[in-house]
Amino acid sequence: MKISVIQPDTVWEDKYLNFQNLTELIFPLYDNTDIVILPEMFNTGFSMRPAELSESPDGETFRWMKAIAEKGDFGICGSYVVKEDNCFFNRWVFVSPENDTALYNKRHLFSMGGEDSLFTAGSSRIVFSYRGIRIAPFICYDLRFPVWTRNRNDYDLLIYAANWPEIRQNVWNTLLKARAIENQCFVAGSNRTGTDGEGIKYCGESIIVNPRGELIEIAEADQECSITADISLTELADFRNKFPVINDADKFTILH
């Protein structure tokens, strides 16, 4: 499978400009990748104004994603603010030209930024398959909580959509590699660049990592761009068979 990570300079709270910019960044990938991965809150930036910016589950952002997926013949995914049952969710959404969909609500809300007081936390992780790859998606702050993302021998690719500030960039790079190593899987992390409406700086460095924790691709810092890599299930299965760490993993139960 070929996966592509988009690294945009997200315009603060302006969906129209972000759709326009992302469409241009994604266009060269048409008919040339299987999945396009966007950052957290890719249509607005990490804004704590969900009442003003939220959409219904089938709102304009979902429709834009569906149209892009159909034109480009790939799955597309990322998070944005959704209102459902009078609750606001930081929701990761996947859409494909085959009309497959998958949804994940961010579990670990960023309390230092007030996200926990405005949004409802998700209660379930998900794993779904697309074009033969089992995928587990998570959002930004989830990266710091390895128990929540622990591989139960049920996925091959971890995806993280993030708005990860430059001041903690070393943590981003280190933890993405750690998640790949401990879970013996491929990891793709999409991060934004630029400065948001709160004055927080982001440098990107979106990456794709192999199951050994080695960088396959890394996006240039402070640049809008995309990175693409092939990931091989054959390579993954061979590595897991030769070094079956997961067989010795601890059993555990997550208490909600």
What whole-number distance in Å separates Cα of residue 123 and Cα of residue 174?
A: 26
**Residue owning tokens 């050994």:** 212
**Residue owning tokens 């074009």:** 131
Token reading at 108: 């670990």
For residue range 144-183, list pLDDT tens digits in order: 999 999 999 999 999 999 999 999 999 999 999 999 999 9
pLDDT tier at 256 (50, 70, 90 boundaries)? low
Q: Is 174 exposed, middle or buried (0-12, 13-18, 19+ CB in 10 A)?
A: exposed
Cβ burial 93-119 (10 Å sphere, 16+ → b, else e):
bbbbeeeebbbbbbbbbbeebebeebb
What is the pTM for the complete model shown?
0.97
Percentage of the chain exceeding pLDDT 70: 100
Write out the catalytic residue numbers. 40, 106, 140
Percentage of the chain exceeding pLDDT 90: 96
For residue range 102-143, list pLDDT tens digits in order: 999 999 999 999 999 999 999 999 999 999 999 999 999 999
Q: Is 148 exposed, middle or buried (0-12, 13-18, 19+ CB in 10 A)?
A: middle
For residue range 73-99, list pLDDT tens digits in order: 999 999 999 999 999 999 999 999 999
Which residue ranges form the domains of the chain, and what is each CATH number? 2-248 (3.60.110.10)
Query: How do 35-37 and 75-84 pair as beta strands?
Result: parallel
- φ/ψ of 231, rounded to 5, equals -120, 140
Q: How many Å from the N-terminal Cα to the C-terminal Cα in the chain? A: 34
List the one residue out of 44, 41, 58 whose CA is nearest residue 16. Answer: 44
Average pLDDT of the chain? Answer: 97
For residue range 31-41, list pLDDT tens digits in order: 999 999 999 99
- φ/ψ of 196, rounded to 5, equals -90, -175
pLDDT value at 246 more than 90? no
